[in-house]
Structure 1
Amino acid sequence: MRDFSKVSPQIWRSKRFGTLGDDARMFVLYLLTCQHQSSAGCMVLPDAYAMADLNWTGERLQAARQAVIDADMLVYEGASDEYFVRRWFQHNPPTNPKHRHGIERLISELDSEAVREAAQCEYVSCAPVQDARGGSGNRLLRTSFINGGKGSPF
C-alpha cells in the first residue's frame, strides 16, 4: 500500500469529471486514492471491497462505475475485477528507473487483456524517453548548469 497518492487540482477543471454526477465523482476520487490503487494506475478491486469502503449498494456502485466508463475515465474488466484509471500517467509519470520497472511489472501482471493494453498504451505514450546512458530523456537534466558546468554555482 502506498503512503500517499497524487490527485491533480486539474480534476476540478476537467470537462469529463465535471459532467459526472456526485456518485460518479466520488467513485473517481475513491479510485484515485483508495488503498488498492497502484503506481501504475491499475488495481484489482472486487465490488465487495468498494461497496464496503464507500458504504454503497451493488446497484449504486455499478451505476457510478458505468458513468465513469462512459466518460472515458476508466477501463474495467468485470471477470478479473481489474481497473485502469485513464490518463493516469499524465499526472503520475514514473520518477526514476526503479519506479518505471515497477510500473512495467504491475502492468504485465494484469490478467485482463483490455485493461493491460489500455495501461500499456498510455504508459508508453507518457513515459519519459531514455537516452543512450539509460537516464531520463529530459533535456533540462542534461544542461551544463544542472551538471555543474560553466555558469553553475556548484
Structure 2
Amino acid sequence: MSKREFSKVSPAVWRSGRFTGLECSTAQVLYLYFLTCEHQNSAGCFRLPDGYACSDLGWDAAKYAAARDKLIAAELITVDPGTAEIYVDRWLKHNPPMNEKHALGTQRIIENIESDAIREKVEADFLEADEARSSKVVALHSSALANTRIMRGGRG
C-alpha cells in the first residue's frame, strides 16, 4: 500500500496543449497514471520497470511502449531506460514543496535518483520551485497582514 493518500492533479491538465495534443487517449491515460500511480513521490521521479506499469495498467509491452514514446515526444515525461526511472516533466512547477520539511524530504528523494541526466533536470526544477516558495515566504513576512497584532502572536 502506498504512503500517499492523494495526488494533486490540476483540472488545467485538460486544457494543456501537450496533453490534448496527444494522438491517442491511451497516451493520455498513461500520463494520468504517471501523475497518480502509487510509485509517484514528491520529486515527480520514480523507478518503474516496464513490467510493473504493464501489470498495473493491464497492457502488453508494445501498447505501453507506444504510449510512453508519445509522452516523451510531447515532452510530458523524461525516461532513462538504463535505470527505469521516469520524471513527470514540470512536476515541481505544479507540485512545489509546501514548506521546509517538505523541501528537505524532496531533496532526499532527488539525491537518490540514479540517472544523472534525470537527477540534473529534477534538481534544476527543484531549485526553481523552492526559490519561488522562499520568495513567497519572504513576501508574506513583509506584508501588512504579517505585521498585524494577531499575526505577531498578540504582541502589541
Equivalences for residues 20-59 of structure 1 within 5 A:
20=22, 21-59=24-62
Aligned-partner SS, 1:79: coil
The ranges of structure 1 where at least 4 consecutive aligned residues each deviate by more than 2 angstroms after the TM superposition are 128-131, 135-138, 146-150
C-alpha deviations, 1:121-148, integer Å up to 9, x for none? 11112223576xxx96441343231343
Change (3 A) 1:147 1:2: farther
RMSD, matched Cα: 2.2
Give 5+ residue unaligned stretches, structure 1. Answer: none
Aligned-partner SS, 1:39: coil
Give 5+ residue unaligned stretches, structure 2. Answer: none
2: CA distance, partners of 1:82 / 1:31: 11
Equivalences for residues 1-154 of structure 1 within 5 A:
1-20=3-22, 21-128=24-131, 137-149=137-149
More helix by share: 2
Paired residue type of 1:4: F
1: CA distance, partners of 2:72 / 2:20: 14
1: CA distance, partners of 2:31 / 2:101: 27
Aligned-partner SS, 1:75: strand
Identity of counterpart residues, as a percentage?
Answer: 39
2: CA distance, partners of 1:129 / 1:15: 24
TM-score, scaled relative to structure 2: 0.87
Query: How many pairs align?
Result: 150
* Contact residue 75 and residue 118 of structure 1 kept, 8 A: no
